[in-house]
Structure 1
Amino acid sequence: MKTRELGKNGFDVSEVGLGCWQIGGNWGNEIDKKNAFEILNEAIENGVTFFDTADVYGDGRSETLIGEFIKDKGSNIKIATKFGRGANVFPDQYTEKALRDSVEVSCRRLNVEAIDLLQLHCIPSEALLKGDIFNWLRTLKKEGKICHFGASIESVEQGLICLEQEDLQSLQVIYNIFRQKLTSALLPQAKEKGVGIIVRLPLASGLLTGKFNKDTQFLENDHRNFNRDGDAFNVGETFAGLPFEVGVKLSDQLKSYCPDGFSMVDMALRWILDHEAVSTIIPGASSHKHIHNNAAASNLPPLSDELMAELKAFYDNHVHQHIRGVY
């Protein structure tokens, strides 16, 4: 596993990290403690050193499981968590006290003295523009409660707002072959500012595995069922904002672009890593069996310039018009 630096004067992260939303178990099939530990352990054995979670994932269950797991694993693992969607603060009840309380609770769950990276969790643009919350984060950093702060965002506009904060460490973004706008609209600006890029939904909620068909069914409590049209939260968080049936057809078309010896997952993850502004990608995993295949992308050869151009044209000509939601 190769590593990259997360932002200017930041810390090293594995090129492939682990998204821990599913470990929280509040959507889809619940992952019990034994299986959660198997996933986390398999990640470490495959060189993963960066876990991404949030206070609201399973109402704190994801943080708690990670905290129990890392007690005897040393300090090499870096953990990012989030604030902004829980504790009844969304969308306009943000206070310094609520932030402090959330950080204290997250530290207890994670069994840490300070949080490696605290990210604002897709909070409204109005709160980002107001800017008070960044000053509260700076105070917490000075006090040693957090080591770095960043923001998980939903749109280019929000990313550009956050980049005005000179001490911002990272942006977490939705970025994949089906969602390429950021290539020119945000990544160069982040690189110029020395801000790290964390990529969530690298496989577009599984569309880019190539394993779904139009008849694929998801559990009632799976966001790929209840949020496929944005009924619960930003539609971009599910299938990259594509209508499911359209996404399946596009995924089938993409299969012919895979280089010899590459799976769809290989190509999708390698495509992201071939953008040097990216620091790490955080695919989720519902089983430890997924970890090895995801981690292997770090050591795959780069995609050819010709293929990168073809995938850009594929997005421009066939995908972009179908994307829904803020972007």
Structure 2
Amino acid sequence: MLRVLLSVIVPTRNRADLLLRCLKHLQQQSCRTMEVLVLDDGSDAANRQALRAAWCQLDTRFRLIEVAPTDAVTSSGPSAVRNHGLSQASGALLAFCDDDDLWTDSKHAERLIQLFTARPELELFIGNQRAVHVDGRISDDWLPGLTSICSGLPELVAEIYTITTEQLCRSGGFGHMNMLTLRKTLLDRMGDGFWSRVSYEEDRDFFWRATDAAQSIAFSPRVVCQHHVPDPSRRVNVSTSFSQQERWLVAAMVSQHIAVTVKSPAITQLCLAHEGDLLRRLALHCASHNQPAACLGFARQALGARFSFKWAAYCGWAWLKSFKRG
């Protein structure tokens, strides 16, 4: 039996049709020394039956792990499920694919193993992905800010570039889970996998903590996967099950968690600035919904997280509104 070198973590719940599309693409990978861990987080009977019925069409690289019983009332959540997958992974390299997304390059796994074998100092690799939006728009570059500077970066191998944490912070956005591959030794150094206290933006939290811990990072502008952006008007997955206000609140808390767990000043500054933007949105939302006290509270927090004279003036206005209301 071939030794497993790469483990791909695929969490799922009640989306057998999308999952089977994802697995069909993963089966096209040319690499034979990879495993795909499918973690079913308590799907209902119909979805589990559909998955079990189709399992015979997959090869021995695929493992089905039923994390929670059929028809589980509540899910374990994406953080806990991915952490369970990480604990079961046999490979020295760890990668991810969401059940509604795809790996589009059939040689992606093979190239990953070759890259990490040739470069033993490399700890984190970020590929590129296209995004398909609900209105049919396609964005061919997930991190265009990073792609735009590749010509000036040191080339590790062909079309793969060495990047720094600071360059990542300036590039805008963050690496989606489909795009990431890391050594298991990096996970050990992080001291923890996904933050199990949250079930939204856990991927952003994981990305920046992994980036902070990594001593060597590489990026390739080549598209290797495809992300289907969830429709926010349909609450069919974890991220869209939250209201907009809840997403802002959880995202602000995630920003704080990153800031208190990383050592990089660049990441800390980036996350605190993002927290300030989120708190501003919450303040404006409360103002538009006639909640002056809440507006003032969020406005003051936003000012502390990211100071500007314009926002200081807004805080003064919010204080007057709250004072008059009181």
- Give TM-score scaled by structure 2 length: 0.30
- Give TM-score scaled by structure 1 length: 0.30
Greater relative contact order, per chain length (Cα 8 Å cut-off, separation 6+): 1
Structure with the largest fraction of strand: 2
Which of the two has higher C-alpha Rg? 2
